[in-house]
Amino acid sequence: MTQYGKSLRVNTTPIPGLLLWDLPVHGDNRGWFKENWQREKMMAAGLPDFGPLQNNISFNTAVGTTRGIHAEPWDKFISVATGRIFGAWVDLREGPTFGKVFTAELDPSRAVFVPRGVGNSFQTLDPNTAYTYLVNDHYSPDAAYSSVNLADETVAIRWPIPLQSAELSAKDRAHPRLADIYPVPGRKVLVLGASGQLGRALRDVYRDMSHVEFANRADIDISAGDLESARRWCDYETIINAAAFTAVDLAETREGRATAWKTNVAGTAALARVATDHRVTLVHVSSDYVFDGTASRPYREDDPVSPLGVYGQTKAAADQIVSTVPRHYILRTSWVIGDGKNFIQAMLSLANRGRDPSVVNDQRGRLTFASDLAKAIRHLLETHASYGTYNVTGSGEPLTWEDIARQVFTLTGHDPQRITGVSTDTYFAASDGPISKRPRNSVLDLTKIKASKFIPSGDDALADYLRPVLERKAKPAGTA
């Protein structure tokens, strides 16, 4: 019999993410009424914002009708419209709770949220029982999912009505035993721009994770216009966008401007639509170039943007687009150094070739090593930090490019006095093509990322980056 007068309440279970709900049901001489699913109240009480797309109903005539155990590739909110059921849920996901079982009786005053990968089954206890599902993906007959036999000895569900007396389909009777099925893998992570400096650092940071995929532009071009069909996006938990047009001076040309807007803005907008439509977390990398560099203090995440050039304008526009995605992280960074062509490698090459460079001395900021940025991304995702914008750079003292060049020369045994400091205007005075304006102050405030328990590299990071160079230099000639 339906219980009236309950308060809305969520109850956790031994299966992570499987939530049992008590629902208020209001009854009188006419019958009863309930709010079966209420987004605002239930989210406040602990229900994930799972984004239901389809409502299904299973009507079961006879007592003892038994269905399952199925782990479809979507989340489900399940309740009983009329009648009663004995529900049984089995965790079929990869991880330490694989095979864990939870059972409960449901009537119209009780519901359950079943996360993707948890096997769902039930047995009717009353005739003419209607069992309802809210699911967050459209049903497809081609969808592949795991199932386990209702009579599995390891799972050992104590069905109220013995299965030999119950109503089962031939298909459900033939499902494999738990020992014969593969655990359901977690939703995947996709790294875009995997051949760039940050992409290569992410490959290293995620090298132990089989569910992380890497794609370069040849695999997925975010500006091509066919992004929606590029993957089965409901299989993905996170997209990390390390792809961007970063040639700041080329962006000032007619052709470069069009390419920068197409890649950095139109491509990012396409990613934002995919992420929003499929409940995917979108990680986006932004830049100090969204600011004009006139502030007298480090820039905070909530400071208004005012980019000086086309590149900064496209990154600022992309930030605004990504901020509309319900699950997003924007990592704003500066002066990225990784595996590939960069300022440090250029200074090292000049030092070794006996060249005495002129280096800009009126721009201040902090280096960001790509390895640090990649670690920060993984940290935010794995700690489930609050969504939003985070400044991520090295945590050392702000320096000019001249200061950094002198450090490179000193650390590698070259005379730092060979370097001449010049203004930005002087440095670019002889350039033939258009030059983008640079922010003079690129220092970003790191309070928020440090509060998330991530501590960026400090003043020793440059020496650590150069250590392989110094170790090769120290080896005697002819040694391996």
Catalytic status, residue 278: no
Cα 401 → chain centroid: 33
Task: Choose the catalytic residue: 4, 26, 131, 133.
Answer: 133
C-alpha closest to that of 87 among 68, 72, 115: 68
Task: Provide the token pair at 162.
Answer: 């013995």
C-alpha closest to that of 99 among 154, 141, 44, 163: 154
d(CA 107, CA 80): 6
Q: How many CA atoms does the CB half-sphere of 18 hold within 13 Å?
A: 23
| Rg of the chain over all Cα atoms, to the nearest angstrom | 29
In sign, the C-alpha dihedral spanning 83, 168, 90, 160 is positive
Task: Choose the catalytic residue: 4, 70, 211, 387.
Answer: 70
C-alpha closest to that of 237 among 139, 44, 382: 382
Catalytic status, residue 465: no
The residue behind tokens 């605002």 is 40
In sign, the C-alpha dihedral spanning 46, 51, 57, 63 is negative
Which are the catalytic amino acids?
70, 133
